[in-house]
Structure 1
Amino acid sequence: LAIVKSGDIICLDLNNERIKRFDKNFKMVSSIDIPFASCGMTLTSHDEIAVTCLNEIHFYNVGKFGMNRTAKCISVNGMAHGIAHNQNWFAVTCDITEPDESTIRVIDATGSERYVTDPPVVSGLSLKLTSFIEFDLNLGCIFLSDSAPSRVVCINFEGEALWDISIPGGSRGLVSIDDENLLVCDQFSEKVRLLSKDGVLKSSVISSEDGLCNPDLIARKPDTNDVIVSYGGFGTIGLFTVQ
């Protein structure tokens, strides 16, 4: 899930193996095929997205009238799933279906892997990697959603656990909104919660009273307070402004 500079919404449709583009009125304006086994997506610039596919990261240009895959490609030493982007670096969760082999890989702007960490034991419990990941290059921190138990975990690039915080109704997608805070989807509580990057759970900024339902993925339009949220199991998305 992503929003580009124009305000168009980009969705990765895994069931139909397509990237779909919707305008501000949620009308689909274009779509393109993607390779089988594409998995995660992140916005890299105002007009480019990156998509994980097997052991590679593919790049797609989002132009004024259409979309196309570019020649740019980064190889990953593992089966890539979730992906996050910050200052031309990437953090990727790999081999998440194989707990004994799963890793988090931090890739620099040249495409080289700079850090590879195993998921640590946090507060006495093993961290099970998912596709939900965010990171902050300046802080040297990676933020991950865990489902059992439901929590957000923060580790540094060396894999040391810094903190974890329980999310009452099921931690799902998360996104950085500024230097100090994240937004995290609390699925079954039907809330989007504000979470500081030092592990303090703050207020709910979007709730079912705003029309939110079963929040799953979340993305932010760059340089704005606008976010989009996908509704798990419903195949729909909502656009919100966070105050």
Structure 2
Amino acid sequence: MASNFESSIQRGCDFIHDFSCSPCEENGFNTEAHHYCTQCTKYYCQNCVSKHNVLYQKHAVLGRKEVKKWEAAPGVVDALERCGMHPGEALKLVCGDHDQLCCSVCVAIDHRQCSKIQHIPDVAKGVQRNIEFQQIPKKIAEVQKQFEKMKEARLKNTTSLKKTRAAISDEIKTIRKRINEILDKIEKTTLQDLDGMIAELEKKLKKDIETCDKMTIELQNMIAAFQTKAKSSESKSYIAYRKSQDMISQANDHLRGISTIECYNVTFQANNLIEELLSAVKTFGEIEEQTVMTKQREDPLSDPNHVFSVAEYKEYNVKMSDDKDQCAIRGVCEMPSGEFVIVDWNNCKVKLLDKEYRVIDHCDVPGDPWDVCHIDGNEVAVCVDNELHFINATKGKLITTRKLSFSHGCTAAAYHSGQLYISCGFALYVYTMSGQKVKMLYEDKSGDRTVEKCAISNDGKTIYITNYDKNQLITLDNNGNKLALLTDPDMENPAGVHVTPAGHVFVCCYDSDTVLQVDKDGKKKLATLARKEDGLYGPRDLFFSSSTSSLIVGGYKDTLVVIKLN
């Protein structure tokens, strides 16, 4: 029935209705009809029916409640036979060139040049004897059954998600309980230390009080004895005099011993590390959506070891008119908006590029910018000597907001789950966002550039490091344990490394002028995607843009090389 064919499919800014207002349609408007006139055999919206009723007061107008009578009325096109593009027109023709049902308006507008236009009655001859026609109800029933199964699976999935939510909630509560127990233990230890110190001080105070009481009594007794002896013989008075002097001397010694300490006090200096560490952690753990794809829907690019091929190479000039030296692009990252931030080492600049790789803004930094990484939202972090500068890219402008200083060099940076991974050239450190050092994850002092750049996998479990000095790509777990070490003839002085959210790993190499794709385990080269003859010169960093399936490579050139991948 027509009511079952009402559609919410939007075409441009118009909706396809099961019945459209005839006057509105004649004037180029697409308005849903709520009335049908049996005499005019036309449809009317609320506005148009009021005008119609003034002119034709005796016409029989049917409302939506009588929509079945609309379909049965003479001249009304059944919804199944109505053109989807022109609802007021009946489907009468078939375009063989486009294998499409058409009305006369469709043919006049869109199929004027087509050579295989046939009337439906001619094409439809014998269709009811066709086996495929006879099987249509069965096929519809099968599809309907699949939707019912899909609905059932989705309902089960909804129930399982609720159970998962409850299980994760219980796990979070368990973690919270363990943290509370740790904090309770810390509090108990701290209070025990406090109680022990207070008890020791009270013991000293008690001893001083007892000394004061004892000396007060002894001095009182001495006064009484002295006054008695002073009235006796001179010999007894002399003895009383000498003993009184001894007593006074002894009492003064006690006073000096006690009075050296005016009072005892206890202070407390809070350990801010606990608060800083907890403040830097935003969640109890990573909550990830896991989608189980059916085999027929699996995307080959979801395989982290899918080998890319190159579609084209292009170069984009990023040199500014006031740049004093040739560009040396040592860091590249992409913003959520599709803009790019690059660091130009030679010209001490951070540059903001639009989606066409044109420089739209820049800011100077007080030193050599070694690397840049995206933090979150519109924020990036730029390595400048032994500092990390945080910069916001908002509305086409770069604004520096704050910085962190380190006791070591800061030559490369990566960000993952609220933590910063900072390289000094030969070691990789983990820091909180407030600059508190968590740990040194990895160290190799056999050279100055054994940790040139690093990249973190999407799940945070794998870390890739380029060893510039030894021509190696090193793969670590998140505890700093070495998982793999890769060398290759095309890997001379590897500089930049990048891992995509899907797990594809790319490396650019300075001396061999190459861009390589490596397997996700970091154990073998999958492909050499670019060489010097493709436009590379001294590549220092690279970034894969998922939105354009392109590698953006920066190096010692005034241009970025953009490699479009298949």
TM-score (norm 1): 0.80
Aligned match for 2:522, one of 199, 206, 213: 199
Amino acid paired to 2:482: A
> How many pairs does the alignment contain?
232
Alpha-carbon distance change, 166 to 196 in structure 1, aligned in 2, over 3 angstroms: same
Aligned to 1:82: 412
1:112 correspondence with 2:420: no
Amino acid paired to 2:348: E
Please identify which structure carries the higher helix content: 2
Aligned match for 1:18, one of 349, 372, 376: 349
Do 1:115 and 1:157's aligned partners in 2 also have CA atoms closer than 8 Å? no
Aligned to 1:241: 564
Do 1:120 and 1:161's aligned partners in 2 also have CA atoms closer than 8 Å? no
Amino acid paired to 1:237: L
Distance in 1 (CA, whole Å) between partners of 2:551 and 2:417 is 20
1:136 correspondence with 2:457: yes
Distance in 2 (CA, whole Å) between partners of 1:74 and 1:140 is 26
Superposition map of 1:38-187 within 5 A: 38-71=369-402, 73-94=403-424, 96=425, 102-109=426-433, 111-120=435-444, 128-136=449-457, 138-169=459-490, 170=492, 171-187=494-510
Could you say what secondary structure the match of 2:357 adopts?
coil
Distance in 1 (CA, whole Å) between partners of 2:383 and 2:429 is 13
Amino acid paired to 2:559: T
Could you say what secondary structure the match of 2:443 adopts?
coil
Shift of 1:128: 4.1
Do 1:91 and 1:107's aligned partners in 2 also have CA atoms closer than 8 Å? yes
Alpha-carbon distance change, 50 to 222 in structure 1, aligned in 2, over 3 angstroms: farther
1:162-183 alpha-carbon deviations (Å, 9 max, x no partner): 2100032322211011353311
Aligned to 2:156: none
Distance in 2 (CA, whole Å) between partners of 1:8 and 1:190 is 26
Distance in 2 (CA, whole Å) between partners of 1:203 and 1:46 is 33
Shift of 1:109: 4.6
Shift of 1:228: 0.7
Distance in 2 (CA, whole Å) between partners of 1:216 and 1:225 is 20
Query: Bigger radius of gyration, 1 or 2?
Result: 2
Aligned match for 1:219, one of 523, 543, 559: 543
Alpha-carbon distance change, 205 to 3 in structure 1, aligned in 2, over 3 angstroms: farther
Do 2:352 and 2:362's aligned partners in 1 also have CA atoms closer than 8 Å? yes
Distance in 2 (CA, whole Å) between partners of 1:104 and 1:149 is 17
Gapped regions of structure 2 (runs ≥ 5):
1-331
Percent identity, please: 19
Where relative contact order (Cα < 8 A, 6+ residues apart) is larger, the structure is 1
Could you say what secondary structure the match of 2:351 adopts?
strand
Alpha-carbon RMSD: 2.9
Could you say what secondary structure the match of 1:80 adopts?
coil
Do 1:119 and 1:127's aligned partners in 2 also have CA atoms closer than 8 Å? no
Gapped regions of structure 1 (runs ≥ 5):
97-101
Distance in 1 (CA, whole Å) between partners of 2:564 and 2:432 is 32
